[in-house]
Structure 1
Amino acid sequence: MNAEYHGIYAALVTPYTSEGKVDYKELQKLVNYLIEKGLDGFYVNGSTAEAFLLSEEERNNIIKAVVEANAGRKKVICHVGAISTDQAIGYAKNAEKCGADAVSAISPFYYKFSEQEIIQYYQDIMSATGLPMFIYNFPNFSGFSLTEEILEKLKQNKNLIGVKFTSSDMFLLEQIKTLHPELVVWNGFDEMLSAGLIMGADGGIGSTYNCMPELAHKVYDAFVSGDIAKTHKFQEKLNQVIKVICKYGVFASVKEILEMDGFAFHGVRRPFAPMTEEGKRELQKIYKEVIVPNR
């Protein structure tokens, strides 16, 4: 089962209508576009999707729309994380009902939950469905960092399949993969994709892969072929764009670039700030100089 999960997955952004509602048709258009561009799968309702700015109904309808558009062609992982265990279980059951291949969850945040409470949260979600689970390790946002000891306890549940590793602690990534080679480990920070792959990651899940699918896959393909110099070269190109994207807001920037390819996303939800005119100009420039030539 684990060998099925590898490559480059887009952490899907959420398109909106001009009235600020989720645009499910545009989302399905994006799914088809990214499959045509060669991506290997999708991570749905994660940080990139502005998940915690979406209603329960929207999150449930988004996974339904993605699975429908994907039509079994690629793997679909649904993020179900929430502060409330019951809410997370509800998302997981809906994902299973809709036909997602796996679920993932950020650790419960805001309140300083104990290690045992976090372990129980994951055990409860994993026991609620038959779907495989990817632990979402994102200490910068959640305030909780996965450890080898915690992973060892979570492995007692047969549904644990791997980790989405959004951290710069490459030593921990390597240790997880070395000590638990049967687990799938996803690199989370796009700007460190090549580093993650070298340290043992099976692939990458990222925001910027929505708007640079070809370039991200070139990093992965070069690594798989054993050409580290070329891997580094493509990572440098990727990072030229990521530097500008981070300057003007990741989600707004990714959507702005996709609009250059004919999509209509209508920005981000408040309190995220809309794209500035200066940002649009700089993104247009990097789009022409780096993204288009590397397709």
Structure 2
Amino acid sequence: MNKNWISKFAGVYVAMYSAYDEQGNVDSDRVRRLARHYVGTGVKGLYVGGSSGEGMLQTEAERRQVLEAVMAEVKGELTVIVHVGANATRESEALCRHAEEVGADAVSAVPSIYYRLSERAVETHWQRMIDSTNLPFIIYNIPQTTGFSLTPALLGRMARQERVIGVKMSGESTFELQQFKATGGENFLVFNGPDEQYLAGRIMGADGGIGGTYGVMPELFVKLDRLFMQGELAEAQALQFKINGIIKRLLGYPSLYGACKHMLGLRGVETGSPRMPLLPIEPEHAESLAALNRDILDLIAAGK
């Protein structure tokens, strides 16, 4: 295993949102402005085309368009991990090759969804992606949405390959996270997925995190990570609790992503509404979201 993977990839990654125009089409200019928004916040990089980015609701051409805009804007400034998971293996392979062509740093994928696939089928699906490029590959484990739970046995087999460098652990068990780290070994990356337990994930061995709510408060997660690294756990715990209060309020809206995108719009970063069937924000939500946005910005300002 390449011993440089930890230093190259460990850290805080924003799971980047989609960016559409008023007609709901991918808007490359808005994608670029959104990517630029995160430069200078302290994050390590961007995770493009995942759940928060609505990759599964976009065509292959749209996913390429998004990534091309991101790379045109922040290549060399932020580390870019591209989610290439798709239902059809051949589409994922094509997205892998495209990611390599435009200079992405790594690719990542969930299992194919809808069909209840065997472990062998999922392993073959991922292996075809791994073999399609020379890019590092990061497994994305999110059983609550895919219906597939990564086993230590499968992880162990895959982690023996040099280009399989880590796993994004979005399952809710920090015990499983710790076991994945133990299975992969010291130099195998584990990213915490659930934003509300970032600190717990780091304590249990995660090397960083990838999350959707980071997109409206990246500075808070960067500070949380710094407090953990400095051993200031009581202060880190207090900050995690404040972050969780924000997340709880966000989850009270019909669409988490719609709420986050709306708040970015209040800050001058327009990204459009989420794509149906994800729900948009209704007019009656505007006042409470403006208040939440102010609370987040005040918390960020207080931490500087």
Q: TM-score, normalised on structure 2?
A: 0.94
Where do residues 42-81 of structure 1 align in structure 2 (5 Å cutoff)?
42-81=46-85
Q: Which SS does the other structure have where 2:39 is aligned? A: helix
| CA shift for structure 1 position 228 | 0.5
Give 1:264's match in structure 2, choosing from 267, 270, 282: 270
Separation in 2 of the partners of 1:145 and 1:207? Answer: 21
Q: Equivalent residue for 2:247? A: 242
Where do residues 119-268 of structure 1 align in structure 2 (5 Å cutoff)?
119-179=123-183, 180-248=185-253, 249-268=255-274
| CA shift for structure 1 position 40 | 0.9
The one-letter amino acid paired with 1:198 is I
| Percentage identity across paired residues of the two chains | 35
Q: Equivalent residue for 1:292? A: 298
Q: Which SS does the other structure have where 2:274 is aligned? A: coil
Separation in 1 of the partners of 2:250 and 2:265? Answer: 14
Separation in 1 of the partners of 2:51 and 2:72? Answer: 21
Q: Equivalent residue for 1:94? A: 98
Separation in 2 of the partners of 1:234 and 1:140? Answer: 27
Separation in 2 of the partners of 1:215 and 1:259? Answer: 19
| 2:5 equivalent to 1:2 | yes
The one-letter amino acid paired with 1:239 is N
| CA shift for structure 1 position 166 | 0.3
CA contact (8 A) 2:217 2:296 kept: no
The one-letter amino acid paired with 2:268 is G
- What do you get for the CA RMSD once the two structures are aligned? 1.2
The one-letter amino acid paired with 1:283 is L
Q: Which runs of 5+ in 2 are unaligned?
A: none
Bigger drift between 150-159 and 78-87 goes to: 150-159
Q: Equivalent residue for 1:34? A: 38
Where do residues 6-21 of structure 1 align in structure 2 (5 Å cutoff)?
6-21=10-25
Separation in 2 of the partners of 1:227 and 1:219? Answer: 10
CA contact (8 A) 1:130 1:159 kept: yes
CA contact (8 A) 1:126 1:133 kept: yes
Separation in 2 of the partners of 1:229 and 1:166? Answer: 24
| CA shift for structure 1 position 127 | 0.7
Separation in 1 of the partners of 2:115 and 2:299? Answer: 46
| CA shift for structure 1 position 292 | 2.7
Separation in 2 of the partners of 1:78 and 1:289? Answer: 31
CA contact (8 A) 2:142 2:169 kept: yes
Separation in 2 of the partners of 1:89 and 1:216? Answer: 32
Q: Which SS does the other structure have where 1:247 is aligned? A: coil
Q: Equivalent residue for 1:278? A: 284
Q: Which SS does the other structure have where 1:47 is aligned? A: coil
The one-letter amino acid paired with 1:2 is W
